[in-house]
Amino acid sequence: MIKQLYQDWIKGIWRNNPVFVQLLGMCPTLAVTTSLINGIAMGCATCFVLVASSLMVSVIRRLIPGEVRIAGFTIIIATFVTVAELFLAANFPLLSKTLGPYVPLIIVNCIILGRAEAFASKHSPIRALADSFGMGVGFTLSLVLLGSIRELFATGGIIGTRILPASFENWVVMIMPAGAFLTLGFLIGLFNMIESKLKSHKVTMSQGHMTQVKNS
Amino acid sequence: MKKTLHMVAVLMVLGFISGFSLVRMEEYAAPRIEAHRREAVEASIYAIFPKGKSYKVLELGGREIFEVFGSSRSPIGYAFTGKGKGYQDDIVVMIGLYPALTRLAGIEILRSVETPGLGGEIVKPFFKNQFQNLSASEPIRYIVGRAPASDSEIQAITGATVTSRSLVRILNGEIEAVAKLLRQK
């Protein structure tokens, strides 16, 4: 049971990472990751909506008739998004100003409806919780990675602390849309490279094991 | 028929619960959001008039003008917001005028989504401080490629001429309109 939950959780972070593997939710991923703080805020807001709506969908999954399930999920998601938006505006006015229209756009983020439809509506609340939390953490980590790389090269530092030497000329392109595509492309490439290395490693391991078995 | 009723009922219950929780959330958030907006406006007024201690809201010609007071009883200036098209979306700016209405005290950008690193630089001191003590009796001009020669000129941002031009256009329009209202007062 614990192992199952761990599996549900961990797949969102690596094997089924929503950004680098499933390529879902590209709009907020590309648009708001101009800085680390923006990445964290967007990631957390999405994670909250994802977990809350997955849990809710899973709890009432047997009550919603199949024909109107998408409409039902959308009501639930939209409610949580509005709650998150109002909460941000009430407590972090600066953040909500920079994130602008992208917070309400979480409603149409395909990760959330995707997880509701593909997982939460078919599994128990506790498994839906593990799955959505894993996806939320995976999404947040990806946005943090993108945001910090872009901020580092665009401003020479992170959150106002200079990291690169003073002779480094800031790459303004990194903060613009083109920089988002460049960074995302390189990261997906890196992700695939590591993944295929791991895979070939596993294959040689098991082959080695096979020959050993034969020899004995 | 039974199925249809079931569908309608479920969606209605969901909608009702959702609406109810949103009303509660709005009740919690609305006063805070309003307070933040007011804080931002106040902060920009006092950034333009560092000696300002209080302000009074004047309603003139359907717009809000803030009359700013220092330690004496006569106003040390007027502040008002201007809004207009920027390069990507509306720019909202707080504009400060000295009481004689012939010189700008300064400007503060309240909202801008201009290109980061280019037009976005208008919020930086090196650009907005150019407007301090600028002449407002003739239209402000932006110039490119040389140092400002008269006191109604500002230097545009390299690579963001559209933003510089839009901002100057907003300022000129709003200053003229408000100065007219204040003179009629």
Per-residue confidence of chain A (216 residues) as pLDDT tens digits? 888 888 888 888 888 888 888 888 888 888 888 888 888 888 899 999 999 999 999 998 888 888 888 899 999 999 999 999 999 989 988 888 778 778 888 888 888 988 888 888 888 998 999 999 999 999 999 999 999 999 888 888 887 778 888 888 888 888 888 889 999 999 999 988 988 888 887 776 666 555 554 554
Q: Is B121 part of any domain? A: yes
d(CA B174, CA B101): 12
pLDDT digits (tens, 9 = 90+) for B110-167: 888 887 778 888 888 899 889 998 888 888 889 888 888 888 888 898 888 899 999 9
d(CA B39, CA B62): 22
Q: Is B16 part of any domain? A: no
- Give whole-number Cα distances, A65 to A3, A71, A73, B7, B11, in Å: 32, 10, 11, 6, 10
| pTM confidence score | 0.77
Range of the domain at B147: 45-184
Q: Is B24 part of any domain? A: no
Distance (Å) from the C-alpha of residue A147 to the closest C-alpha of chain B? 14
Q: Which residues contact A106 (CB under 8 A, 6 or more apart)?
A: A28, A45, A46, A49, A81, A84, A112
d(CA B135, CA B123): 20
Closest CB to B14 among A72, A89, A91:
A72
Asked if B21's CB is within 8 angstroms of A68's CB, the reply is no
Strand partners, B59: B64
Q: Is B158 part of any domain? A: yes
Given a contact cutoff of 8 angstroms between Cβ atoms, the answer to whether A111 and A50 are in contact is yes
Q: What is the largest CA-CA distance in chain B?
A: 81
Q: How many domains does chain B have?
A: 1
Asked if B6's CB is within 8 angstroms of A65's CB, the reply is yes
Burial class (CB in 10 A: 0-12, 13-18, 19+), A52: buried
Both tokens of B134, joined, read 């600028």
d(CA A116, CA A76): 10
- Which ipTM was obtained for this model? 0.73
| Pairing status of strand B63-69 against strand B75-85 | antiparallel
Both tokens of A49, joined, read 């909506």
Sign of CA dihedral A125, A131, A137, A142: negative
Interface test with B, best of A75, A88, A155, A173 (most B CBs within 10 A): A75
Q: Is B123 part of any domain? A: yes
Q: Does B7 lie at the interface with A, CB-CB under 8 angstroms?
A: yes
| Pairing status of strand B141-143 against strand B153-155 | parallel
Asked if A72's CB is within 8 angstroms of B18's CB, the reply is no
Q: Does B116 lie at the interface with A, CB-CB under 8 angstroms?
A: yes
d(CA B151, CA A199): 69
Contacts of A93 in chain B (CB under 8 A): 33, 36, 40
- Give whole-number Cα distances, A214 to A50, A137, A208, B41, in Å: 49, 44, 10, 79
Q: Does B115 lie at the interface with A, CB-CB under 8 angstroms?
A: yes
